[in-house]
Amino acid sequence: MTTRRIVLATHNAHKVEEFGAIVAATRPDLEVVGYDGPEPVEDGVTFAQNALIKARAAAAHTGLPAMADDSGIAVDVLGGSPGVFSAYWAGHKKDSGANYELLLDQLADIADPHRTAQFVSTIALVVPGDEEHVVTGVWPGRLATAPTGENGFGYDPVFLPDDAEGSSAAELTPAQKNASSHRARAFEALVPLLASL
């Protein structure tokens, strides 16, 4: 079996590891590698726009097919925010703990039935000299009132997926998360598009 490389346009090692596991489950012939080039300015106002900006930059820099994920948490009572601003919700330091603590503080008086939220992942695929594709996956759930769990990253400790029986995303094993997360759902839609690689 010939292994082909596909670059994931991120400097986030957690995302590279997570995507690598998701990809390996369905396409063991594809090796996900991290991106070591310059970080583009993500000035899009949607997940799709930012994912395409990153994937185009990685494909141009490496000459390899490139995937880029732009993802975040969308809280219904906040009109879908933080959304594309999830990584910077508490400022430009990209401090995950500060981000979810601010979000919990903003929702402190919101009753459980109104704490619905979803993780959203939009993946762009750019193949040099070929077409561009964008797919989206949504993982529905709600926000907890306090963080729990040691696994995962980002907002995982405060997100209670509908399919996790009361556990936070950070209490799931990596295999459990990779089987049903927003990224797994987006990647499932991407698999047919990877057939030509």
The answer to whether residue 76 is catalytic is no
- Cα–Cα distance measured from residue 39 to residue 135, given in angstroms and rounded to the nearest whole number: 22
Cα 152 to the center of its chain, rounded Å: 11
| First-last CA distance in the chain | 13
- In sequence order, which residues have a C-beta less than 8 Å from that of residue 39 and are 6 or more positions away? 11, 57
Tokens coding 57 = 């930059």
Tokens coding 9 = 């346009």
* Count of C-beta atoms within a 10 Å radius of residue 35: 24
CB distance 82 to 33 below 8 Å: no
Q: From the candidates 36, 70, 76, 163, which is the catalytic residue?
A: 70
- Cα–Cα distance measured from residue 41 to residue 120, given in angstroms and rounded to the nearest whole number: 21
Closest CA to 146 of 178, 90, 103, 177: 103
Active-site annotation, residues: 70
